[in-house]
Amino acid sequence: MKPKRLDRQRRLTLLSLAGPNILFITAFCVLPLLVLFSYSFFQVDFVSIIREPSLENYLRIAKSETYRGLIIKALVYGVGIAFICSIIAYPLAFFIAKRVKVYKAALLTLLLIPLYTGDLIRIFAWRVVLGAEGVLNSLFMWLGIIQEPIWVLLFSPFATTIVLTYNYLPFMVLPLWAAVEALDDSYIEAAMDLGCRRIAVFFKVILPLSGAGLVAGFLMVFVLVVGDYLTPQLMGGSTGITVTSAIHDMFGAAFDWPTGSALAWLLLVSMTLFVILVSYLFYRSPWGRGIRRNS
């Protein structure tokens, strides 16, 4: 076949493979998001929606300290949980990548099981464990360590933090593991042979060389925690008011779709800005050298 015809055929193949995906996602994900965006400019009057575009919803949210606080709280939780996850995950990823040989696949599968099992069952399990009449409290009381149940275990920021960390830990371990796995052992050995202390090896060799995995995991956990709405709702009790539960209320009982849409879009935009900022800073930093060289 002539190269030109081959080229055309390849392009046709590409189009027929990518086309259905592009159509499907555009029609059922991009378009709904745009419809949601359009709602953020409408107003609500009792039980009907007035389709006269204005910026009023955004202005109201910008003026309200509560809404601003909720968005900031979500972002802070996202960064915080991602940070906790990265601290827990690093030694684990390092051990699985560099020490485990036979059971590597088994250990990684064990991490995937809770991840695929879904947030509902994971949260349910934690409620069983942490509840006021739950497993942990009753165990302590039975053993005589405490006399009264510890109420803060459930429906508190503490419970929310534990369950969020638990829920999204695999999303941090897996990219970190992949990054450490790809890291050449001889760098670590060379540093050790030259008298580098263990902590210094971590900060000067391992961390810079696995930075891409860390950032990938960090951003994934961040995005998932910011968008999580089940955990604070089911674990946080009255302290669990988050921006996502506020949005949920506006689409449920409160029937204020326009304000809900505006809040949702503000959250989406602030998330995106944060992700772009972190990616850019990483790309420009000395750690991002590996990525810059490849592209």
Site for another protein in 43-82 (CB under 8 A): none
Contact between 248 and another protein by CB under 8 A: the answer reads yes
Piece in contact with another protein (CB under 8 A), picked from 5-13, 64-72, 208-216, 277-285 = 5-13
Contact between 41 and another protein by CB under 8 A: the answer reads no
Nearer to another protein, 276 or 286 (CB): 276
Q: Provide the minimum distance between the beta carbon of 112 and another protein in the complex, in angstroms, as a whole number.
A: 6
Q: Provide the minimum distance between the beta carbon of 129 and another protein in the complex, in angstroms, as a whole number.
A: 5
Among 91, 182, 273, 276, binds another protein (CB under 8 A): 91
Q: Provide the minimum distance between the beta carbon of 248 and another protein in the complex, in angstroms, as a whole number.
A: 6
- C-alpha 180/C-alpha 177 separation (Å) is 5
Nearer to another protein, 69 or 91 (CB): 91
Piece in contact with another protein (CB under 8 A), picked from 56-64, 205-213, 256-264, 283-291 = 256-264
- C-alpha 230/C-alpha 265 separation (Å) is 19
Nearer to another protein, 1 or 286 (CB): 1
What residues between 262 and 291 interact with another protein by CB under 8 A? 264, 267-268, 271, 275
Contact 263, 243 (CB under 8 A): yes
Helix axes 65-98, 257-284, angle to 10 degrees: 40
Which residues are CB-neighbours of 108 under 8 A, at least 6 positions away?
A: 96, 174, 177
In whole angstroms, how far apart are CA 23 and each of 17, 20, 27?
A: 11, 5, 6
Of 213, 228, 139, nearest in space to 182 by CA:
213
How does DSSP assign 137-155, residue by residue? HHHHHHHTS-SS--GGGSS
Among 244, 256, 282, 287, binds another protein (CB under 8 A): 244
Instruction: Using CB under 8 A, count the residues that bind another protein.
Output: 83
- C-alpha 241/C-alpha 37 separation (Å) is 23
What residues between 94 and 113 interact with another protein by CB under 8 A? 94-96, 99, 105, 107-113
Among 50, 72, 76, 139, binds another protein (CB under 8 A): 139
Q: Provide the minimum distance between the beta carbon of 113 and another protein in the complex, in angstroms, as a whole number.
A: 5
Question: Coil, helix or strand for 64?
Answer: coil
Contact 58, 40 (CB under 8 A): yes
